[in-house]
Amino acid sequence: MRQYIVQKGDTLLRIAAKYGLAREQLITANPWAGQQPYLLPGQMMFLPASLRRRYVIQEGDSPESIACTFHFQPETLEDMNPGMSIYTFPIGKTIVLPPSKPRHRIRLSGEYGPRDLAVDLDVLTAQYPKIECSTIGVSVMGKPLYAVKIGVGQRHLHVNASLHANEWITTPCLLRFLENYASALTEGYHIDGYDPDKWYQNYTLWLVPMANPDGVELVQEGVLPDHKYYDQLLHWNGERDDFRRWKANIHGVDLGDQFPAHWEEEIERRGKTAPCPQDYAGTAPLCEPEAEALARHTLQISPVRALSLHSQGQEIYWNYRGYEPPESERWAVTLGKASSYRPVKLQGSDAGYKDWFIQHFRRPGFTVEIGRGINPLPVEDFEDLCVEVGSIMTAFMSLD
């Protein structure tokens, strides 16, 4: 077995993905790793041999047909099978298959955090010039809050994700839609029967793909003693070092309760008076830099409709205290039909982004709870969630 020294930011899933292993293989080789919530820099791990895909050559097979089926280049077969020639392909011979070539840039190699987002935005903007990226502010810890723009239309749309830290899977799902949209524009194909060029000409779509980067990083990597808020975070988390259920930002403020829409009533309803993993609304509306930046950006672009991605529940919330316009319910039904999610008329909730947007602009706003399960949703659900989010976004772009 090879040895590996854990680095800052490493997780079991990230190491497994990097070396072509399963998480369970790592735990089998390193039983202690399954008994602690996070890996710590400097810990030594043993890496077992990676699992390799094997295939028995069938009658009628060719290097090209197998490569097409399993998504790799035919010539790489010789690299994985020393001594084999692609010109002699005997039936019944067992061969090792090369890794599949990824179909998308946006994919999961373990958890998806702020560093992954920064790298992927650089790649997407370089590959697709119609995508523009800027920042609308910084988080408590100084991480950039990115805004992504695509389209030239006079009517603006807004979508945000990862407002809650342990709902981070909403970020790569949203970026997968962006990648598919930009690819369809570039290559000239339709998305589910819709012409993306019409979207591009009629609307300017703005995405804030990770509104709570500090919280996302905390959920995925935990906290070390050199962190500025180490003692406070442990105290706010009940002295537990497992932050996977954390929804708030690094100040222990729930950004989903930070917006000036009957904020005082939400404070009273929640009953939280100090920082904690969730439901503490802070000392005042928009007192946290992430919420303030998101609200300021929304005011600047004045969207005709907005959507906030959360997880989980497979539900769509569309109303707020009667401030919503008449078309909101009908459009929620349209989004629900596209995704098989259930439109819900929500009561007894205030101070959310959707609530503030509807109250301030009197325009349609939606909260979409993607997937089903316990947050953070498992990475194994990612591809299915991408389909669901893609269907919702396609319908959202096409509402009229």
CB 166 within 8 A of CB 148: no
Q: At what angle do helices 170-187 and 114-127 cross, to 10 degrees?
A: 10
Q: For residue 369, indicate whether it is catalytic.
A: yes
In whole angstroms, give the CA distance from residue 121 to residue 319: 33
CA distances from 339 to 313, 345, 369 (A): 12, 17, 11
Q: Which residue has the tokens 């904020």?
A: 263
Which of 300, 313, 321, 312 shows the shortest CA–CA distance to 342?
Answer: 313
In whole angstroms, give the CA distance from residue 338 to residue 345: 18
In whole angstroms, give the CA distance from residue 19 to residue 21: 6
DSSP state of 34: G
- Nearby residues of 93 by Cβ (< 8 Å), 6 or more positions away: 56, 57
Helices assigned H by DSSP within the chain? 12-18, 23-29, 63-70, 76-80, 114-127, 170-187, 196-202, 213-221, 230-236, 263-270, 289-301, 327-339, 353-361, 382-398
**From 187, 369, 383, 388, active-site residue:** 369
Which of 175, 99, 203 shows the shortest CA–CA distance to 385?
Answer: 175
Residues forming the active site: 369
